Amino acid sequence: MEDYGYHAPVLPDETVSLLVTGPGIYIDGTLGGGGHSLLILEYLKTHFEGERSLLVGIDQDSHALDAAEKKLSAYRERTTFFRGNFSTVGDVSRTVLGGEGKALPVMGILLDLGVSSYQIDTPERGFSYLRNGPLDMRMDPDGPVSAADIVNGYEERALARVFRRYGEEPLGGRIAKALVAARDREPITTTGELAAVVKGACPRKDLAIKTLSRVYQALRIEVNDELGVLERALEDGFASLSPGGRMAVISYHSLEDRIVKKFFASLAAEDWGPKGLAIREPLAPAKALLVTKKPVLASPEEIERNPRSRSARLRVAQKL
Ligand SMILES: C[S@@+](CC[C@H](N)C(=O)[O-])C[C@H]1O[C@@H](n2cnc3c(N)ncnc32)[C@H](O)[C@@H]1O
């Protein structure tokens, strides 16, 4: 079977060596084509031969699950898959611990955020402004709201807010206005039509591509509630980890990375109460250790090989 266009996993060695510390359950919340999962399974086989481990893969896209199941078929006994949102990682881990993962510790959770290259490269999914397709952008093809619903249904002010907040787009208001004028003539239903209106609203044509990519990012985040599900997944995922287990998150833009950084920092902070309190121990000890003090970035060689890694930032925390 063809590889569905999935590309090499980002920060492969760094992710696996910082995530995997012993045998147990590993949850890949963003299975995609199964690239990272395969590396985790191989690493476990090499370093913890003969010890029981289980790889749990979650993705909301059934195409991804099909491709990953094929790729990981050599490890059938050590894998189990769930279709759904990674914000349900807590439920998934309880299900696994009550069944095939009984008595195993949850040692690692990985989130490699965003869309896969397969999703970007498939015009029918509507993620790309480079290829014409329906204005969709749902990572879960059965999700309730598409990009067309937002572009044609939101009020001008709400559209502008989405572009500013999730795209950090300074021309958000102007683009929202142009979209409302265009959709009053005829609904906007394709990525090509959206791109034409956005470009038309840009005063500097040489900067139009940057604006387009920010507008697309903003719509994608809104369609898939990406920041909301990330916050829930971090909380629930961390709660599911066994002591000593690690959580690794690869993000691709500053809005995601800020959420991860803040969450990990809050776990690693000790609470010493109000200033001046003469106490020997913190009121609340730290819950996690920062394995990466600064985000791990891709090397120039990896960026050359795999341009998708250019904006990747990996952060890892360990539950105490
Ligand atoms: C960047 S790709 C992961 C690639 C994967 N690490 C690999 O090596 O092949 C992200 C995947 O996560 C999935 N995804 C994104 N957000 C999700 C969410 N909230 N819940 C479940 N899956 C999600 C997407 O459908 C996509 O397949």
pLDDT tens digit string along 259-285? 999 999 999 998 888 888 888 888 889
Question: Could you tell me if residue 2 is inside a domain?
Answer: no
Question: Could you tell me if residue 31 is inside a domain?
Answer: yes
3-class SS at 275? Answer: coil
Do 215 and 244 lie in a common domain?
Answer: no
CATH value at residue 147: 1.10.150.170
Q: Closest Cα to atom 8, ligand 1: which residue?
A: 35
Question: Could you tell me if residue 178 is inside a domain?
Answer: yes
Do 71 and 136 lie in a common domain?
Answer: no
Ranges of residues in the chain whose predicted pLDDT is under 50: 1-4
Find out whether 317 and 293 touch, Cβ atoms under 8 Å: no
What is the 307 CA–ligand 1 centroid distance (Å)? 18
pLDDT at 2: 41
Do 103 and 167 lie in a common domain?
Answer: no
Question: Could you tell me if residue 6 is inside a domain?
Answer: no
pLDDT at 272: 82
Question: Could you tell me if residue 3 is inside a domain?
Answer: no
Do 245 and 97 lie in a common domain?
Answer: yes
pLDDT at 275: 82
pTM: 0.95
Do 32 and 100 lie in a common domain?
Answer: yes
Question: Could you tell me if residue 124 is inside a domain?
Answer: no
| The token pair that represents 165 in the structure block | 């907040």
Total number of domains in the chain: 2
Q: Among 116, 119, 125, 225, say which to mutate for ligand 1: greatest number of ligand atoms within 8 Å of CB.
A: 116
Q: Which of 206, 224, 242 is the last residue of a domain?
A: 224
pLDDT at 220: 97
Do 54 and 90 lie in a common domain?
Answer: yes
pLDDT at 5: 54
Do 97 and 69 lie in a common domain?
Answer: yes
Do 96 and 240 lie in a common domain?
Answer: yes
Q: Among 39, 41, 139, say which to mutate for ligand 1: greatest number of ligand atoms within 8 Å of CB.
A: 139
How far, CA to CA in Å, does 141 sit from each of 63, 84, 124, 136, 146?
Answer: 9, 11, 11, 9, 9
Amino acid at position 65, single letter: L
What is the 64 CA–ligand 1 centroid distance (Å)? 8
What is the 207 CA–ligand 1 centroid distance (Å)? 29
Cβ burial of 192 (10 Å; 0-12, 13-18, 19+) is middle
Closest CA to 287 of 271, 268, 273: 268
Do 103 and 234 lie in a common domain?
Answer: yes
Strand order in the sheet with 25-28: 79-83, 54-59, 25-28, 106-112, 246-251, 313-319, 288-290
237 lines ligand 1 (CB under 6 A): no
pLDDT at 129: 86
What is the 139 CA–ligand 1 centroid distance (Å)? 8
How far, CA to CA in Å, does 100 sit from each of 20, 53, 92?
Answer: 20, 10, 12
Q: Closest Cα to atom 22, ligand 1: which residue?
A: 59
CATH value at residue 66: 3.40.50.150
Do 305 and 157 lie in a common domain?
Answer: no
Q: Which of 224, 257, 289 is the last residue of a domain?
A: 224
Do 111 and 141 lie in a common domain?
Answer: no
What is the 29 CA–ligand 1 centroid distance (Å)? 7
Q: Which of 192, 224, 256 is the last residue of a domain?
A: 224
114 lines ligand 1 (CB under 6 A): yes
Question: Could you tell me if residue 5 is inside a domain?
Answer: no
Could you tell me the residue range of the domain that residue 30 belongs to?
A: 12-117+226-319
Task: Give the separation between CA 180 and CA 281, rounded to whole angstroms.
Answer: 58
Do 94 and 150 lie in a common domain?
Answer: no
pLDDT at 7: 77
